[in-house]
Structure 1
């Protein structure tokens, strides 16, 4: 089966492509790096020819509020139109846990707009809501840095390994369309400030983690359970300490 992975050369996309290929499928990595641009439509027709499933794990190059909204609306609109012409049977999108619970956050609003386009299209779909990736933990800490301290809200946090996200996305792509959503999070839930206090000590990062109920997470203040999935969510297998050891970090 031919499966096109939009964003297939990135962190999650490359892992999805590899997993699908290992299972004997024709997994095509589609991104500007391979001549496929969902913003302009360049290369889409050729890439989607004969595809049964399209997996979209692409991300905006800028998280600025207007830029990210424009990216997801334009990219998703172009992609869905091309899929309809190509006769694609299943559209799979990777999104974020909590999108519909956090309208104050510009990135989450853009993901909601993306999901609404998918839901309104004629193509059967599945949406995977994942929690934050282990791979981005240091980026989160840097984003929260303020004069030598890292200000983190004491809210629930359930990060997940990129490999586990890719496994879930690949499994969903090979199944029947859900015409709905599935959530996946890591195997352990933490208080976010405590997670970063422990993690940064392991990294050897000397910055102090300050517990701040008003600390912003990429532009807005999260609620107690904004960033964690529901009780019926799928759970990744990789623990953070094991991921650190395996990745040499």
Structure 2
């Protein structure tokens, strides 16, 4: 099969390209660095020519309210180009519980992206993943003040980026879902506990204080960021992931 991977040079895109190529598929990675601009539409027709499936892993450069325009514009451009090219399957990566956190601009933007896809003519699959293991340390950094990290006790279910890439490949190689597949890590943690586990494995002098008003995840209520019952659980446990070398390199 021939795949076009938009956002093919990113954290997930790079691994998706590697996996598909190793499986013997014809893969075209595309990004701004290869001359493809999903906002202007430049280069889309060329990279989608002859593609059976397009995997859209592009991401907004910002996470505020303007990210809504990025996802709506890019998705409309990709949808039009995919239909014109005769693409038979359109796959995107989204977030578990994304439609239940309207307080976050970026989550509303991802819902807008899903909506465009669902209303486009090309058969589709949406892969929703829980929070990446690779994002835990940046989350800690956002609420660090001196040697104190303030984190809410919001339940999260971290998943390794490599497991996310594998899930995207499985969906892309299968029949279009015309719906959503949820994927998650195998373990659920309160975010403050996850911070303590992380700093115990990688001590740097900081300590975690529970503060249910701190950071972006303070607005999340209940367990909406954890996997629903029908989710596929990935094999990599967070504590095992922490022991792997060079995490966060992508």
Please indicate, yes or no, whether the TM-score normalized by the shorter chain is above 0.5. Answer: yes
Which residue matches 1:6?
6
CA contact (8 A) 1:60 1:71 kept: yes
Deviations 1:43-84 (A, max 9, x none): 111100000100011111111222x11111111111111001
- In 1, the alpha carbon distance for the partners of 2:207 and 2:40 equals 44
Which residue matches 1:17?
17
Which residue matches 1:192?
191
Secondary structure of 1:179's aligned partner: coil
- In 1, the alpha carbon distance for the partners of 2:153 and 2:239 equals 21
1:130 aligns with 2:129: yes
Which residue matches 2:244?
246
1:232 aligns with 2:238: no
Matches within 5 A, 1:51-66: 51-66=51-66
Secondary structure of 1:51's aligned partner: coil
Which residue matches 1:40?
40
> 4+ residue runs of structure 1 moved beyond 4 angstroms?
none
- In 1, the alpha carbon distance for the partners of 2:102 and 2:146 equals 29
Report the CA distance between 1:18 and its aligned residue: 0.7
Which residue matches 1:221?
219
Report the CA distance between 1:215 and its aligned residue: 2.2
Report the CA distance between 1:151 and its aligned residue: 1.5
CA contact (8 A) 1:144 1:217 kept: no
TM-score normalized by the length of structure 1: 0.95
- In 2, the alpha carbon distance for the partners of 1:144 and 1:20 equals 37
TM-score normalized by the length of structure 2: 0.95
Moved more, 143-152 or 78-87: 143-152
Q: How many equivalent residue pairs?
A: 247
Q: Which runs of 5+ in 2 are unaligned?
A: none
Q: Which runs of 5+ in 1 are unaligned?
A: none
Deviations 1:174-208 (A, max 9, x none): 00000000100101111111011111121113222
